[in-house]
Chains A and B, each alone.
Chain A
Amino acid sequence: MSSEKRAELFSGYQGEEGDLIPILQRVQEKQGYISEEAVRRISRFLKISENQIYGVASFYSQFRFTEPGRNSIKVCLGTACHVRGGQILIDAVERELDISPGETTACGRFDLQRVACLGCCALAPVVQINDDIYSRMTVIRLKEILQNYE
């Protein structure tokens, strides 16, 4: 990481313990995920061990540790979607793309996330791919739709 990049991540912070979460948020915003390299840098800057940083970051679902794919699949497992078979959709994506929630395909085309509610429960089960919302999803339709994203 170059010194400009470091300045970009840490400018405005004093290196106090309480800066950890805002810095993690900035790293995620700039780089899309929390890399091992970023954790090492933060550890040196804040003098908190990498293990503690990872412990804090992995507690919050807002942080991810794998590089996001080009397309991001979010499958809703809120109450309504769960009842109407959201888990079956997740299983289908897992089988189709060979990734678990939180992971990215080896080719970098898709990543998969499980979300709690997308706010349109009447349309359950719901899947969001990038900014597109797909309602009343079925396994067969989902497989077809995936073809549209490269």
Chain B
Amino acid sequence: MGKTSKTVQINMDNQRLEVHRGLTILQAAESNGIYIPTLCAHQDLSPFGGCRMCIVEVEGMRGFPTACTTPVEEGMVIRTKTSQVQAERKEILQLILSEHTSSCLVCDEKVECKEFMGTIRKAGVTTGCRYCPNDDQCELQDVVDYLELDEIGYPVYYRGLRVEKEDPFYDRDYNLCILCGRCIRVCQEVRAANTLAFKQRGRFTVIGPAFDRTHMEAGCEFCGACVSVCPTGALSEKARKWEGKPDREQITTCALCGVGCQMRLLIKGEKIIGSLPAQDPVVNSGQLCVKGRFCVTELVNHHRRLRKPQRHQNGTEVELSWNEAIEAAAAELSVCAPKQFGMLISPNCSNEDLYIAQKFARVAMGSPNIDSSTRTFYGHGFSAYLDLFRQSAPLADLEKSSDILCVGLDARFGRSVVGVALRKAMKRGARIVTINPRPHNLALMADIWLKPILGAEAGLLRSLVKMTERKNSTSRTRAKGQGRGLTQDLLTVAEMLKNAHSPAILVGSEFLQHDKSWQIFELVGRLAQNVGARILPLPAQNNLLGSILMGTYPEILPGGFSSADEKKARQFKKSWSVNLAQFSTGWNASALSTGPRLKVLYLIGENLPGFDQLADFTIYQNIYSPDSPTVDALVLPSAAFTEADGTFINGEGRIQRVRKAVNPPGDALPDWEILCRIARKMGKKGFDFSSAGQIHREISRSVMNLGRFHRPKRKPVPLTWQGRVNVSRPKPSGKVKDGKQIPFLLHASSAEHVYRGFLLTAFVEGARQIFPQDMVDINPKDAQKKGISQGDAVVVSCERFQETWTANIVDEQPPRTLHVTLHQSASLGANPHRVKVKKKDV
């Protein structure tokens, strides 16, 4: 063994070890299987030296150094478990426990209680004490067991703090806190969110945000990183509080947005009890946002999950067996003409589901009428938005970017994983510019916040494109219609982007429903070309690219080819024996209520208001029961993303595996399987699949190579598609008169906390607190003028609509503008709307 400069020789507990230089004693011990107790150290966090549990003896060093903060040195002689070290540790642990509720740690009945759950009451109750939801998963218990501590010699000082339950998703009982500081360090170092800090000092020390603010008020993103690292039960997840230890785990891909985070599902029996981030280095590197971390459990375990096929008829619901249901569906579909059939499928479904759905429409029904609600979600800018994916770059590129422009992005709740990457980029010196007319979470950290006038965003981008076009022309270009201060900022940004060695543009969803969304996305593309920037569009739907590449639109064939492409049509004619060339009914999702009435409407993971009125017969296939009792529909239960195998394609173009973690509830089946069964019943060929893997192989063989099912290609592929989604431009909103005053401008965003057509707020309790429903943001001065106070009912009206929402007064909402988030904002038309506002008469 040569002494290289990279390693050092040490002697630990009479073992000669060669370890890497620069490791701490604790790391050296752990990598050689030597246990040193610790409470504050954590592999992802910087050493802290707070709990003093890891003290060791080092020859030649005074006192007992902490193993977590002392680096190894050549020739060090370390003893980790001498009787004196153990005695010191026991003493320190007693001091820690003198402030900690310790009934589960040092009770006389501890051993008996574990076995018989008896209590020390006179009556024969068998409950056992349960003060803490972390029982059996507690690191404090492990250390107490290791040190064999059975009594506490110090007087007990309980702090008697109030348990904090006002915030969503997790409760905080700081009486159980041992002040190890892990939550603070993870919030500062790993998430760079800085919501938590030690407050006061000495025995008054508590953890929390500034002043007496709640986490909600302090800007917490509810990523749950602090809950994950807490060694005690001080921080505990509300939805999983008394579930105990999971039996097993399954790694899968989150289906709640297009980032495609890898997550670990915690499973107990046949129930998912939690979701944690997986250590995936390429996408989310061990991070999740609030949706992935806290919403999945409640979403998939909700009592509104469909368990059995049902027939709804005139207000009665009859449960069916699968055979009866398949027969009923096949009977209706067999007599339906191609033109009279329509199918909508959610982009939350897997590639395998999407592929089978479009094959079902095109081959089994012989109809081109397949579409998705994304058409209305993205509106007329859909094609321009999809074009951005041609120049898209992987998320990991943010690490290399020197200058980052965020266009209409907010990363507090959704996409907070990207927010973390941005804050880390900022820490290492990247400059960040954000374009957004409204307050958003990037505003505080960005170097420059370009704040266009609501409705003038396209103008601002056009100025930026012009300024970056030719050399030295910046100073002469004026930003039309923008203030003078903004022009100066624009010039700075243009210079910055032009000189940047590695710029990147992130595209969020603020402008998706914009009147000029088409221009905005085209301009973003041009800007990126001008300055040589990477584009990272962040779609809200987890499998938007999958829906394009599997061809679930009338204009797009599998592979992303245009349906007008005759060569491709001939190819499909050969493999599917259907003549796609004759297809063009002109039908799409926007024609549902206005076009000719359909005979059969098949909805997969889609939930439209009043859907049973749109066709003579509706097949509703989803994981939840419909919102309102339906008149006449066949309701089929399908599997959620945690219950079926498949693949997704995330916003980067990365093919990701979704794995079945538990069986679907009741009789529910994966979407593809239901479709295949119906097709077989109808006597159609080409639907003999018994697993998602077989479908995957057919896609790889006949459409595009997705790689192997069990190990999909990990390299992201920019979208190559030749299609065009035809969406007509909506009419601009009409004029309104509000006396002599200029009307208010209303910006309505579409909610992105959606899974299979349902808002998460319908199923997840905490989501209701973070995603306000029907709340309209208004500037305090405007509110005062109109006599509106927080929480008042407000009527917002124009020629086309009149809506009543709840007022939410926001300091930084620009004057004479309003903002609201709706389930489907497209129903109002394109943004911004000119509206009148008044307090609702009581």
Q: A interface vs B, CB < 8 Å?
A: 36, 39, 43-44, 47-56, 58-59, 65
Q: Does B97 contact A (CB under 8 A)?
A: no
Complex contact A59–B200 (CB within 8 A):
yes
Stretch in B85-93, B188-196, B323-331, B661-669 touching the partner: B188-196
Complex contact B201–A39 (CB within 8 A):
no
21 A-B pairs whose Cβ atoms sit less than 8 Å apart in the complex: A36-B210, A43-B444, A44-B444, A47-B445, A49-B194, A49-B195, A49-B197, A49-B219, A50-B210, A50-B218, A51-B196, A51-B197, A51-B209, A51-B210, A52-B197, A54-B199, A54-B211, A55-B199, A58-B199, A59-B198, A59-B201
Distance (whole angstroms) from the CB of A27 to the closest CB of chain B: 14
Q: Write out, one digit per residue, whether chain B residues 158-198 have a CB within 8 A of any chain A CB (1) or not (0).
A: 00000000000000000000000000000010000111111
B residues less than 8 Å from A65 (CB atoms):
211
Complex contact B210–A54 (CB within 8 A):
yes
Q: Write out, one digit per residue, whether chain B residues 792-825 have a CB within 8 A of any chain A CB (1) or not (0).
A: 0000000000000000000000000000000000
Distance (whole angstroms) from the CB of A90 to the closest CB of chain B: 16
A residues less than 8 Å from B197 (CB atoms):
49, 51-52, 54-56
Complex contact A51–B218 (CB within 8 A):
yes
Task: Give the nearest-CB partner of B187 in chain A.
Answer: A51
Complex contact B194–A36 (CB within 8 A):
no
Distance (whole angstroms) from the CB of A18 to the closest CB of chain B: 17
B residues less than 8 Å from A58 (CB atoms):
199-201
8 smallest CB-CB distances across A and B, nearest first, come from A55-B197, A49-B194, A54-B210, A50-B210, A51-B209, A51-B210, A51-B197, A58-B199
Q: Which of A39, A51, A58 has most chain B Cβ within 10 Å?
A: A51
Complex contact A52–B188 (CB within 8 A):
yes
Distance (whole angstroms) from the CB of A35 to the closest CB of chain B: 10
Q: Roughly how many angstroms separate A65 CA and B200 CA in the complex, as a whole number? A: 12
Distance (whole angstroms) from the CB of B640 to the closest CB of chain A: 36
Q: B interface vs A, CB < 8 Å?
A: 188, 193-201, 208-211, 218-219, 444-445
Q: Roughly how many angstroms separate A58 CA and B194 CA in the complex, as a whole number? A: 16
Task: Give the nearest-CB partner of A65 in chain B.
Answer: B211
Distance (whole angstroms) from the CB of B486 to the closest CB of chain A: 18
Q: Roughly how many angstroms separate A36 CA and B217 CA in the complex, as a whole number? A: 13
A residues less than 8 Å from B198 (CB atoms):
55, 59
Complex contact A51–B194 (CB within 8 A):
yes
Tell me whether A36 and B211 are in contact in the complex, defined as CB-CB below 8 angstroms, given that A55-B197, A58-B200 are known contacts: yes
Distance (whole angstroms) from the CB of B443 to the closest CB of chain A: 10
Complex contact B195–A51 (CB within 8 A):
yes
Distance (whole angstroms) from the CB of B442 to the closest CB of chain A: 13
Complex contact B200–A39 (CB within 8 A):
no
B residues less than 8 Å from A56 (CB atoms):
197
Distance (whole angstroms) from the CB of A143 to the closest CB of chain B: 28
A residues less than 8 Å from B194 (CB atoms):
48-49, 51-52
Q: Roughly how many angstroms separate A54 CA and B218 CA in the complex, as a whole number? A: 12
Q: Roughly how many angstroms separate A63 CA and B289 CA in the complex, as a whole number? A: 36
A residues less than 8 Å from B444 (CB atoms):
43-44
Q: Roughly how many angstroms separate A53 CA and B198 CA in the complex, as a whole number? A: 10
A residues less than 8 Å from B211 (CB atoms):
36, 39, 54, 65
Distance (whole angstroms) from the CB of A141 to the closest CB of chain B: 30
B residues less than 8 Å from A54 (CB atoms):
197, 199, 209-211
B residues less than 8 Å from A49 (CB atoms):
193-195, 197, 219
A residues less than 8 Å from B193 (CB atoms):
49
Q: Roughly how many angstroms separate A54 CA and B194 CA in the complex, as a whole number? A: 11
Task: Give the nearest-CB partner of B202 in chain A.
Answer: A59
Q: For A53, give its contact among B188, B200, B208, B210 (CB under 8 Å).
A: B210
Q: Roughly how many angstroms separate A142 CA and B545 CA in the complex, as a whole number? A: 76
Q: Which of B193, B197, B199, B208 has most chain A Cβ within 10 Å?
A: B197
Task: Give the nearest-CB partner of A49 in chain B.
Answer: B194
Q: Roughly how many angstroms separate A107 CA and B105 CA in the complex, as a whole number? A: 49
Distance (whole angstroms) from the CB of A48 to the closest CB of chain B: 8
Task: Give the nearest-CB partner of A61 in chain B.
Answer: B201
Distance (whole angstroms) from the CB of B433 to the closest CB of chain A: 15
Task: Give the nearest-CB partner of B204 in chain A.
Answer: A58
Distance (whole angstroms) from the CB of A102 to the closest CB of chain B: 10
Task: Give the nearest-CB partner of A60 in chain B.
Answer: B201
Q: Roughly how many angstroms separate A51 CA and B416 CA in the complex, as a whole number? A: 19
B residues less than 8 Å from A43 (CB atoms):
444
Task: Give the nearest-CB partner of A44 in chain B.
Answer: B444
Distance (whole angstroms) from the CB of B185 to the closest CB of chain A: 12
A residues less than 8 Å from B208 (CB atoms):
51
Q: Roughly how many angstroms separate A50 CA and B193 CA in the complex, as a whole number? A: 11
Distance (whole angstroms) from the CB of A15 to the closest CB of chain B: 12
Known: A56-B197, A58-B201. 6 other contacts (CB 8 A): A47-B445, A49-B194, A50-B209, A51-B218, A52-B197, A55-B199
Task: Give the nearest-CB partner of B215 in chain A.
Answer: A51
Q: Roughly how many angstroms separate A50 CA and B210 CA in the complex, as a whole number? A: 6
Distance (whole angstroms) from the CB of A22 to the closest CB of chain B: 19
B residues less than 8 Å from A44 (CB atoms):
444
Q: Roughly how many angstroms separate A56 CA and B193 CA in the complex, as a whole number? A: 17
